[in-house]
């Protein structure tokens, strides 16, 4: 069983190409049976590859899309894929619709892989993510543009003096001991 990677995607480009892609995806979602038999359903990325004239066996497309939104020349969606973002599928979409570009932010917590290709912060400004489970408390995930903001937030929720990433690591070790285990991770998005 794979680790699941969640990716937020934004495609931008010619309004008509965005509309055509959106309508194709909506048609696939409404089908009673998937375009291609699979274990994921009608919104499997392989169905989209096939609908666009490709072959799912030739394109890495192990996952699904959801939360599809179209506004003008922008299409937003989320994907859940095996191990990593399905870059090959996203590139294939752009080959079929030459005016399109895409930006993404992906999270695969089990391997601590946090990636983005949005180097200018056009759609995904956040560069840090705090993943926290307060002992005997609640689970929280929060995004930050700057390290200082993340450290301040962790200090507030932990009621500890947090000035550096080393302080976060020490807090994490402290919370991992005892009967009421918690955790506190601060991850950087790597720009690829």
The model's pTM: 0.91
- pLDDT given for residue 178 in this prediction: 66
Q: Are residues 85 and 133 in the same domain?
A: no
d(CA 115, CA 55): 27
Tokens of 16: 């008509």
pLDDT of residue 1: 72
24 and 93 together in one domain: yes
Q: Give the CATH number for residue 48.
A: 3.30.70.1270
Q: Indicate the helix (H) or strand (E) that contains 20.
A: helix 15-30
pLDDT at 176: 84
Its domain, for residue 96, covers 4-116
- Provide the pLDDT confidence category of residue 127 given band limits of 50, 70 and 90: very high
Query: In terms of domains, do 9 and 57 share one?
Result: yes
Contacts of residue 146, Cβ cutoff 8 Å, sequence gap at least 6: 127, 128
Both tokens of residue 142? 């929060």
* CA nearest neighbour of 60 among 141, 2, 99, 124: 2
What's the structural domain count of the chain? 2
Domain contains 122: no
On whether both 29 and 112 belong to a single domain, the answer is yes
Q: Which of 71, 89, 116 is the last residue of a domain?
A: 116
3-class DSSP state of 114: strand
- Residue 180 predicted with pLDDT over 80: no
Q: Would the pLDDT of 58 be above 70?
A: yes
Average pLDDT of the segment spanning 92-119: 97
């Amino acid at each position: 069983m794979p680790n699941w990677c969640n990716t937020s995607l934004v495609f931008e480009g010619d309004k008509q190409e965005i509309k055509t892609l959106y309508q194709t995806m909506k048609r696939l979602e409404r089908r009673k049976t998937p375009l291609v038999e699979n274990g994921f359903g009608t919104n499997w990325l392989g169905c989209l590859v096939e609908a666009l004239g490709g072959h799912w066996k030739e394109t890495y497309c192990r996952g699904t899309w959801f939360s599809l939104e179209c506004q003008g020349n922008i299409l937003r969606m989320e994907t859940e894929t095996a191990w990593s973002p399905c870059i090959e599928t996203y590139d294939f979409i752009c080959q079929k619709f030459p005016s399109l570009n895409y930006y993404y932010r992906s999270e695969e917590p089990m391997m601590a892989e946090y990636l983005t290709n949005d180097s200018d912060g056009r759609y995904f400004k956040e560069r840090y993510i705090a993943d926290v489970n307060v002992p005997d408390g609640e689970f929280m995930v929060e995004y930050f543009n700057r390290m200082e903001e993340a450290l301040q937030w962790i200090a507030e929720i932990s009621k500890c003096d947090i000035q550096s990433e080393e302080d976060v690591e020490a807090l994490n070790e402290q919370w991992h001991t005892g009967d009421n285990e918690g955790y506190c991770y601060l991850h950087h998005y790597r720009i690829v």
